[in-house]
Amino acid sequence: MTARMLGEERTAFLQRDFYQGFIKTCGFKLETLEPGLAKSSLEVTKAHSQQDDFVHAGVMATMADHTAGYAAFSVVSEDSRILTLEFKINFLRPAVGERLICRAKVVKEGKNILVADSEVYSQRDGVEKLAAKALVTLMAVPVEALRAEETAEG
Amino acid sequence: MTARMLGEERTAFLQRDFYQGFIKTCGFKLETLEPGLAKSSLEVTKAHSQQDDFVHAGVMATMADHTAGYAAFSVVSEDSRILTLEFKINFLRPAVGERLICRAKVVKEGKNILVADSEVYSQRDGVEKLAAKALVTLMAVPVEALRAEETAEG
Amino acid sequence: MTARMLGEERTAFLQRDFYQGFIKTCGFKLETLEPGLAKSSLEVTKAHSQQDDFVHAGVMATMADHTAGYAAFSVVSEDSRILTLEFKINFLRPAVGERLICRAKVVKEGKNILVADSEVYSQRDGVEKLAAKALVTLMAVPVEALRAEETAEG
Amino acid sequence: MTARMLGEERTAFLQRDFYQGFIKTCGFKLETLEPGLAKSSLEVTKAHSQQDDFVHAGVMATMADHTAGYAAFSVVSEDSRILTLEFKINFLRPAVGERLICRAKVVKEGKNILVADSEVYSQRDGVEKLAAKALVTLMAVPVEALRAEETAEG
């Protein structure tokens, strides 16, 4: 990746854009954003648990996907939107910490297709452990094409 | 799979077990449960959307994973718990309907490892369209082993 | 998918195109091809085994991917080529049969992105068992774009 | 991972074990093996190509899987065998180089389940480029259990 910078305005836009709808429901926060890199966090509550009191796999999957999406957003042109084509996620250990941290990195930046590596860490008593690891395939779509898709639903 | 039945008591237990923590936060309902098969639903609201007003990929991923988990639960012994080892999900079209339906089916039932196919349909004006398709790998873990893991966190 | 037919000439082209390079090395045969559907086979020999005398996971992965690719080829325009963006494959049981059969089906046919479900069966004494199941994401690329990529290598 | 060493005898055994059946057919070489890490290589020929003269996706998938398998082998007890439960692989750019290099690393070493990250690089004129990236889930199985499975075929 060539050296690049995210302008203040663009950063502020992506910060706002990140936090809405389901992401607000879940409570994920965007911590930092650099070209091709995003970091997010979550304060874990009972609202995120599964039947055995671990963090639900769906919470980590959502975090890995969404954070990867904004890592991708940070490297495409301003008139592009990002859609997730697919992802795969491995759950490596039960997440029992009080906080989750996600770090996503674009590993391939193609014309339309981007691929990101996205890792979720469980933090307890200040110690981070890798809890989940994902590979995410994303597509950059011009805003107009997206609107068309919305009405057509392919 | 051999012909089997889920007793009333077991079904009632799994119905209660399904709906708690993050799943309650999201609002997924378990519709039906048969040995190796589970069906769930979701009434879509703004709380499930992403930045372009489609249903968030994380909502569909959570639904595909959790429904697959209970399809697996329905075929293991009562002293086993189910953990998701990993899953992969493809998003086939933007989900813009008012309701999601998920159907999960166990396609391989090993001693410890189970694999399920899980599909999410977007329903609009009574018409269902396949919105996402997942392959989920699950592990049956004896309750005691799970408790040990909880304290150790591997 | 709309009702369509594959012309004789197109079918003959895809039959030839299927069997070359690594596919010839492996020995996979294209059995049938219909719009969105492909079926292939392999006579298993020692050349396909892994360290425990089962068929190697890589053989089934190659078969699942390549067969999915030709299922996709059968529905795109003649000036398009197909590239695999990614796939995921679950190995459900050791393949110990004398023959493998693969059936691939396009489950979503987008403008550029296609998704296929691809299953590998192990056949022994005339009985087929599902040995592996894959989800494959493919991209249709105009021939000229492909040639450009070849020299540039992104 | 705790500091560990591979004895000379064990290394020699795994070197021999690596290269047989389908792996010999393909021509992959094991370059180095350390606890949790494996590196392999392939001299690319026409026998590895697909219809557009790139290296076939199946070649890279086989390499990513097999190399991950031996990274896993290097950390389990001597009476265990390794089976691939599933993997996912993203193809990041057409591989057009004269040589492939694969580096696999165990990222989670559970009691029975291991997860590895496996990357395939295409080398041309001495320059390496990341061509494919995989996440592989493996299971350690006692030799006796494997033999039972072979006759039963689950």
- What is residue B51's predicted lDDT score, i.e. its pLDDT? 82
For range D115-119, the mean pLDDT: 98
Q: Are B100 and B44 in contact (CB under 8 A)?
A: yes
User: Which is more confidently placed, D74 or A111?
Assistant: D74
pLDDT digits (tens, 9 = 90+) for D38-56: 999 999 999 999 888 899 9
Q: Is residue A35 part of a domain?
A: yes
**Per DSSP, which regions of D63-112 are E strands?**
80-91, 99-109
> Measured between CA atoms, how close is C2 to chain A, in angstroms?
13
CATH of the domain at D33: 3.10.129.10
Say whether residue B130 is in contact with chain C using an 8 A CB cutoff: yes
Interface check B61 vs A, CB under 8 A: yes
Collect all residues of chain C within an 8 Å Cβ-Cβ radius of residue B93: 108
Question: Which distant-in-sequence residues (6+ apart) come within 8 Å of A144 by Cβ?
Answer: none
Q: Do C150 and D54 count as a contact with CB atoms less than 8 A apart?
A: yes
Dihedrals phi, psi of D112, to nearest 5 degrees: -115, -30
Please name every residue paired with A113 in a beta bridge, in sequence order, or none if there are none.
A139
Q: How much is the pLDDT for C144? A: 86
Summarize the confidence of residues A20-42 as an average pLDDT.
97
Beta bridge partners of D37: D34, D105
Q: Please give the average per-residue pLDDT across D111-136, as a whole number.
A: 96
Q: Do B110 and D154 touch (CB under 8 A)?
A: yes
Q: What strands, in cross-sheet order, belong to the sheet with B80-91?
A: A29-34, A37-43, A99-109, A113-124, A127-142, A80-91, B80-91, B127-142, B113-124, B99-109, B37-43, B29-34
Residue D150: the pLDDT is 56
**Considering chain B, what is the average pLDDT of its residues?**
92
pLDDT of residue A51: 82
Residue C3 lies in a domain: no
Would the pLDDT of B110 be above 60? Answer: yes
Phi/psi of residue D67, nearest 5 degrees:
-65, -40
Residue % of chain A over a pLDDT of 90: 83
Tell me whether residue B1 is in a domain.
no
Structure confidence at residue C10 (pLDDT):
93
Tokens encoding C35: 């719009």
Query: Is residue D33 one of the residues assigned to a domain?
Result: yes
Per-residue model confidence (pLDDT) at position B92 = 97
Structural domain includes residue C2 = no
Binning pLDDT at 50, 70 and 90, where does residue D6 land? confident
What is the reported pLDDT for C150? 56
Q: Which of C93, C115, C130 is closest, CB to CB, to B90?
A: C115
pLDDT band at B71 (very low <50, low <70, confident <90, very high): very high
Alpha helices in chain B (DSSP H): 8-18, 21-26, 57-73, 143-152
The model's confidence at residue B61, banded by pLDDT at 50, 70 and 90, is: very high
The reply to whether residue A83 touches residue B62, judged by beta carbons under 8 angstroms, is no
Give a yes or no: residue B2 inside a domain: no
pTM: 0.95
Does position D100 have pLDDT exceeding 90, yes or no? yes
Hey, which bits of A12-126 come out as E strands? 29-34, 37-43, 80-91, 99-109, 113-124
> How far does the CA of residue B131 sit from the closest CA of chain A (Å)?
10
Chain A interface includes B50 (CB < 8 A): yes
* Confidence band for D111, pLDDT divided at 50, 70 and 90: confident
Q: Nearest by CB to C137, which of A85, A108, A110?
A: A85
Torsion sign, CA atoms D75, D81, D87, D92? positive
* Rg over CA atoms, chain A: 16
User: Can you give the residue range of the structural domain that contains C130?
Assistant: 8-152
Query: What distance in Å separates the CA atoms of residue C45 and residue B53, rounded to the nearest whole number?
Result: 53
3-state secondary structure at position D114: strand
Whether residue D3 lies inside any domain: the answer is: no
Give domain status of residue A3, yes or no. no
Q: How far is it, in rounded angstroms, from Cα C112 to Cα B116?
A: 28
CA dist A100 → A45, A104, A126, C89 (Å): 11, 13, 11, 29
Number of domains in chain B: 1
The band of B2, judged by pLDDT with boundaries at 50, 70 and 90, is very low
3-state per-residue secondary structure call for D19-50: CCHHHHHHCCEEEEEECCEEEEEEECCHHHEC
Instruction: Return residues 110-129 of C near B (CB < 8 Å).
Output: 115, 117
- Residue ranges in chain C whose pLDDT is less than 50: 1-2, 153-154
Q: Shortest Cα distance from A35 to chain C (angstroms)?
A: 19
**Mean pLDDT of chain D, nearest integer:** 92
